Structure 1
């Protein structure tokens, strides 16, 4: 018997996996829910919550170990092919064949789905127009930017018109412009084709655009409802505070999250700090915690309820960076001279200019954000700063060393954490750290001392096999490896990509502590709210510098005030620059 009006019905659903150490664990643990037809539904939760496992079961790619799962009225365990004939599924990495062109990828997916030839021309034309990819049909998928790959992945998924679309974290690793384009396309599809869509996401602003939201953690359902209904769970608990003069917002935020008995969560926003108090913490206790800081109530949002739910479910295990030092106003540890100097930096690849005459400097202990759309040139700039790629021309100085003359010596003064973390999955945590200590050339005695120090600092289990760790845990291990040799400068290349809000809070608490100790941080990120943690940010597009300054200065350049969120400021700066270039081109 099927439930009419629902695309997915789960009852007592369970999925058990066996870890490499032989121990079973419940990825999905007695999960029951119903998802309404014709709606845009969000699955959200922290890393390891079971979102991808659930998506794969709904797609008929994994069989439940217990319980029942109906998709589009079919028992997916008994008739997986019947379900797959009516759905489209886009996995996290878009499922593209990178050596094939855009058109060849579309043709391949049409062949796999058995799309009749007479339907292909109209469907391809619609998808290429909707994704603005018609100009790139001959380009290999591997040479597309992250945002273009995202849109091609969606177009391939939709070469046929499904009854249900499953999207597993489609926004991972793409910039705000590409995220906006994706959601515009989804809204057009839902309205034009009455499509049911289920999307898993770590972005709470994306979940807030959905009709229904399901919050899961460790395989269990914590809450479900509309974004408005869920947001009300934090009603009366949310506040904003203005830091005292001279104190960065991230330092006040660190002070707040270091008091988990009174504070559920805190995050910098618009030069202020938004926070959630514990239900049993009254305003008198808040004034005791913030004697020099005025605060006032604010309207609750979905992310407030999300963080409160996770903290309640995880208890104290979710609190952030308890090893970090107490939050204080940072003291300058340098002599006023910049530790990074970039003047007229240019990098060309043949006829293509990836970076065009870029100039900026970074002071010791500063957190400097390098932002831009996919394909903007920020990764090329980043690689040149790290000494991984030579500049075509210009001056580049890191830690007082000219990278043209002393690249190897400069590398010894920097730490680097890549987007993919560069860990060895078959090695334990300790074995990874021992490998990196050797790569940095640390003497045995110092290596042993530093490994023990970072194991404690980042709360790492030495014997855990790194390949099976949750993404947030791998991030902490990669950070520990990058800091083994106590570098002066730490480069972080999209370190929070694909990581949930709770893990991002812990990450930035650690970064705040490192900056207070005088470590200079250079970070690239697609989470624009993370720009609020930076002392200054630079926005690049098409190899050019569009904006450089404090987050507030960048908001002002975009024509906004303190209340403007950084996503809006980022998009406004990029679009204003592109419009100005277009006008200039027309005039010429």
Structure 2
């Protein structure tokens, strides 16, 4: 930790915060376990770390919403425990689920938060005008908040958080569930505030490219600081250990990734990118692994340093080892082998006079990982819900698992699994009780149900007696996946399955998805993490209800006019913005 001085806006020493354990007779949770740090004034500071690292707990302590069990915490030269109200009068805090009033308009939400914070009438007009201009919401002041897209809701939440001018702004993963274009806009707003108003901002984020934009980054794990420094300083922790490998002809990059991840003694991390796999060796002395896969050195990135730090902090026999997907094997009839798992032709969905999906056509092959991508409000969620049988189509043809969804919806649903974006299981039931209930709903009974539950608990490393609603985000997603796979479906639908979970948990989740696809199960996934598009065999990009691009990640880069080294974020933004420019230039979610 740097020596504290009068320019430090937050000073924590030996900070401890405990919570009761999750489940029966469970030990208490040390959310913060002797955390010590000092955060400088007038800077953009990032908190990064896996689920359960203590990032949200720390921000809530800073905001005076929690009281520490021991240690000291000074914010804005004030002891948080002694005078939390004084601090709350000077900070603004935007939690992960910001409380917008969805039946009130954009302007009414701003007025309400100005009233709550006691913003003088004389200051409001100027403040509102600036916030509406910087968030590009000035055209939508009369629109109800509930009718805004996800990205616009986040912008309004930020505007409401800033109706008063704070000395410190706390942002808890503000861009979770937001598409790349809206995420870019959100960060432009944040950086402008830091630049123009010298605002101090502490942000927790699951995106390493966001942490890259901060002056200082704190890597947290299990309530402690693993490391801190500038993005460059943390990046250099992986210097000499980062490599790029191209799979042999006919081998998928995710197959090579899985093989590398199984070498846990030498490989700390591996992730596909384009036609290659980026991986990190635990030691710069390891030459055997790079030689084995004909790898070439590459420059380290912040995420490399982050993943290496996390891997080194894990116990040797830990849950960081890849989860094996051996429980499920898709069952296909021989005559169905050459048929697509999903066939969509001229699919249309209208809501009154609004067309959410306009004449969309594509096929999804059996055993394929197919990504459905698009900005907030693009129509991808509507398409996804029609594919699952949760929403009837207004027109066109749709076959799932060889069945017409219009005439055999129930039979088709019996052959699919579904993981929703939001945790949709029974939060007050234990893990085992949820598995038992949904297994029964899928028609499993007796020994078959018991064996499937036992296999699920082992496969996803779940504690059977843990209360489901109290699980960390990554484990909630594991449970959701376990439930979706109980009845051995042919097709699994994943609606933003990794939204809000950290990079380490995302790696494990996608390893499991790849193993399922290798066993012949078809995976349909929506995601706002463009790096996850690299795991897909093919992706479709939608906007304004229309299909803009369809192909492999490499083909989509080519459609965007970019080379094979470009990241998918850039390709996605280029395709959407080019399509909008050819129409009228108005964002689809506006």
| Shorter-chain TM-score above 0.5 | yes
Match of 2:299 in 1: 299
Match of 2:454 in 1: 452
Query: Shift of the alpha carbon at 1:322?
Result: 4.5
Matches within 5 A, 1:123-522: 123-279=127-283, 282-287=286-291, 290=292, 293-316=293-316, 317-324=318-325, 335-522=337-524
Match of 2:330 in 1: none
Residues in 2 aligned to 1:335 and 1:62: alpha-carbon distance in whole angstroms: 57
Residue range with higher mean Cα deviation, 433-442 or 518-527: 433-442
How large is the RMSD of aligned CA atoms in angstroms?
Answer: 1.8
Query: Shift of the alpha carbon at 1:444?
Result: 2.4
Query: Shift of the alpha carbon at 1:464?
Result: 1.6
Could you say if the C-alpha distance between residues 279 and 318 of structure 1 is closer, same or farther in structure 2, counting changes exceeding 3 Å?
farther
Match of 1:79 in 2: 83
Residues in 1 aligned to 2:471 and 2:586: alpha-carbon distance in whole angstroms: 51
Residue range with higher mean Cα deviation, 99-108 or 221-230: 99-108
Matched, 1:69 2:70: no
Given that residues 290 and 296 in structure 2 are in contact (C-alpha distance below 8 angstroms), is that contact kept between their aligned partners in structure 1?
Answer: no
Residues in 1 aligned to 2:35 and 2:462: alpha-carbon distance in whole angstroms: 30
| Per-residue CA distance 1:108-147 (angstroms, 9 max, x = gap) | 1101111000110111111111111112112221221110
Match of 2:58 in 1: 54
Match of 1:120 in 2: 124
Match of 1:565 in 2: 567
Q: Partner of 2:406: helix, strand, or coil?
A: coil
Given that residues 325 and 516 in structure 2 are in contact (C-alpha distance below 8 angstroms), is that contact kept between their aligned partners in structure 1?
Answer: no
Residues in 2 aligned to 1:323 and 1:136: alpha-carbon distance in whole angstroms: 48
Residue range with higher mean Cα deviation, 135-144 or 548-557: 135-144
Residues in 2 aligned to 1:523 and 1:8: alpha-carbon distance in whole angstroms: 40
Give the TM-score of the pair, scaled to structure 1: 0.96
Give the TM-score of the pair, scaled to structure 2: 0.95
Given that residues 262 and 286 in structure 1 are in contact (C-alpha distance below 8 angstroms), is that contact kept between their aligned partners in structure 2?
Answer: no
Match of 1:530 in 2: 532
Query: Shift of the alpha carbon at 1:51?
Result: 0.3
Query: Shift of the alpha carbon at 1:154?
Result: 0.3
Residues in 2 aligned to 1:320 and 1:244: alpha-carbon distance in whole angstroms: 25
Query: Shift of the alpha carbon at 1:281?
Result: 5.5
What is the total number of aligned residue pairs between the two structures? 576
| Per-residue CA distance 1:455-513 (angstroms, 9 max, x = gap) | 22212221222122111111111101000010000000000000100000100110111
Given that residues 348 and 357 in structure 2 are in contact (C-alpha distance below 8 angstroms), is that contact kept between their aligned partners in structure 1?
Answer: yes
Residues in 2 aligned to 1:424 and 1:81: alpha-carbon distance in whole angstroms: 36
1:543 to 542, 545, 554: 545
Q: Partner of 2:19: helix, strand, or coil?
A: strand
Query: Shift of the alpha carbon at 1:280?
Result: 6.9
Structure 2: any 5+ residue segments left out of the alignment?
A: 327-332
Could you say if the C-alpha distance between residues 281 and 414 of structure 1 is closer, same or farther in structure 2, counting changes exceeding 3 Å?
farther
Query: Shift of the alpha carbon at 1:421?
Result: 2.9
Could you say if the C-alpha distance between residues 187 and 584 of structure 1 is closer, same or farther in structure 2, counting changes exceeding 3 Å?
closer
Query: Shift of the alpha carbon at 1:452?
Result: 1.6
Q: Partner of 1:224: helix, strand, or coil?
A: strand
Given that residues 360 and 547 in structure 2 are in contact (C-alpha distance below 8 angstroms), is that contact kept between their aligned partners in structure 1?
Answer: yes
Structure 1: any 5+ residue segments left out of the alignment?
A: 326-331
Q: Partner of 1:532: helix, strand, or coil?
A: helix
Residues in 2 aligned to 1:280 and 1:530: alpha-carbon distance in whole angstroms: 27
Q: Partner of 2:423: helix, strand, or coil?
A: coil
Match of 2:98 in 1: 94
